[in-house]
Structure 1
Amino acid sequence: MTAAQADLQIDRPTVADGAVLWRIAKDSKVLDLNSSYSYLLWCRDFAATSAVARDESGEPIGFVSGYLRPDSPRTLLVWQVAVDASYRGRGLAAALLDGLAARTAAEHGVDTVETTITPGNTASERLFTAFAERHGALLEREVLFEAGDFPDGPHDPEVLYRIGPLAH
């Protein structure tokens, strides 16, 4: 943990955090923005498999949203990772991801993390590659959704990153 992370609290999101998480995702200009309603539901229904970082006043400044795959309940699918622009470059995304992986391993027996990344999203590629290295895990990549699979216009393919088994 860096000195910048020492003043931060990482915990589960609450419904009251939903609007701020939507804004952080919107302001990222990289993530596919979901409806504000979906962030509220996510904070209610998937709080156990998501994490939020808070500043010294308790305000959300970053988050990881995830869920356990129904057909593979020891696999955490990380949906989105976002950090407020004023807190980027401090290792917060890695701290959030490590904390969530540790919590879901302890509470749900998670031993594999999956996410999808569009080609060229260097920050996410580095985040998840470094995560695999820190956890002594294999990293496999394969295209999960081709560009043509998306019905709503041009979209880059989504590459599945499968990381596991995790060494905790």
Structure 2
Amino acid sequence: MTAAQAQFLEVTEAPDGLRIDHPSVSDGAEIWRIARDSKVLDLNSSYSYLLWCRDFAATSVVARDEEGGVAGFVTGYLRPDRPHTLVVWQVAVDHAQRGRGLAAALLDGLTGKVAAERTVTTVETTITPDNAASQALFASYARRHGAGMERTVLFDAGLFPDDGHLPEELYRIGPLPAPHA
């Protein structure tokens, strides 16, 4: 294990009674429910969450309670044109688990698990201007890992076919610590 991988893994401790794991297809329904109940995320079809758990399990994580139930999740993927960039698609924590630092632990856990398998130099995500909680989560992530953070508009509101969608701002965090032998 490299020093950078160890650094990420050191901060992936989940709150008491929870553990961070990759999702399985059987987690798709719970992930969909948590996304729906968040009332903040764009809700995708239940089918898409099943596919995500099948096709992108290696770049996504869930927090499991002592019974194996899903308490929160982060979905992500590696950009095909930038394979060292981890894109975080959605982050959500079940209402009963909020306020325990689980979202930050999941984000660190995801980065640690992906960095254990491949080089990750950058994390990207998009956040709407009204989502202060996500803005704070990713700003604290950048600070914890000593990385810079840039913000630009990725998709202007006018690009969305549905009325009232706010712009999606791209948050690019990096460079992340380089692996050391």
Regarding TM over 0.5, the answer is: yes
Structure 1: unaligned runs, 5 residues or longer: none
1:73 aligns with 2:83: yes
Q: Percent sequence identity over matched residues?
A: 70
1:105 aligns with 2:97: no
CA distance in 2, matches of 1:98, 1:58: 20
CA distance in 2, matches of 1:120, 1:167: 30
1:54 aligns with 2:64: yes
Counterpart AA for 1:120: D
Task: Tell me: CA distance 1:108–1:21, structure 2 relative to 1, closer, same or farther (3 Å).
Answer: same
Contact 2:34/2:93 (8 A) holds in 1: yes
Structure 2: unaligned runs, 5 residues or longer: 1-10
User: What's the CA shift for 1:6?
Assistant: 3.0
What aligned pairs does 1:7-156 form with structure 2 within 5 A after superposition? 7-156=17-166
CA distance in 2, matches of 1:92, 1:155: 27
Q: Deviations over 1:43-94 (max 9, x none)?
A: 0000000000011111001000000000000000000000000100100000
CA distance in 1, matches of 2:158, 2:98: 33
* Root-mean-square deviation over aligned CA pairs: 1.5
CA distance in 1, matches of 2:16, 2:56: 26
Alignment partner of 1:108: what SS? coil
TM-score, normalising length from structure 2?
0.89
Counterpart AA for 2:135: E
4+ residue stretches of structure 1 with deviation over 2 A? 1-4
CA distance in 2, matches of 1:3, 1:140: 27
TM-score, normalising length from structure 1?
0.96
CA distance in 2, matches of 1:126, 1:157: 18
CA distance in 1, matches of 2:118, 2:14: 29
CA distance in 2, matches of 1:152, 1:41: 24
Higher relative contact order (Cα pairs below 8 Å, separated by 6+ residues): 2
Q: Which 10-residue stretch deviates more, 99-108 or 142-151?
A: 99-108
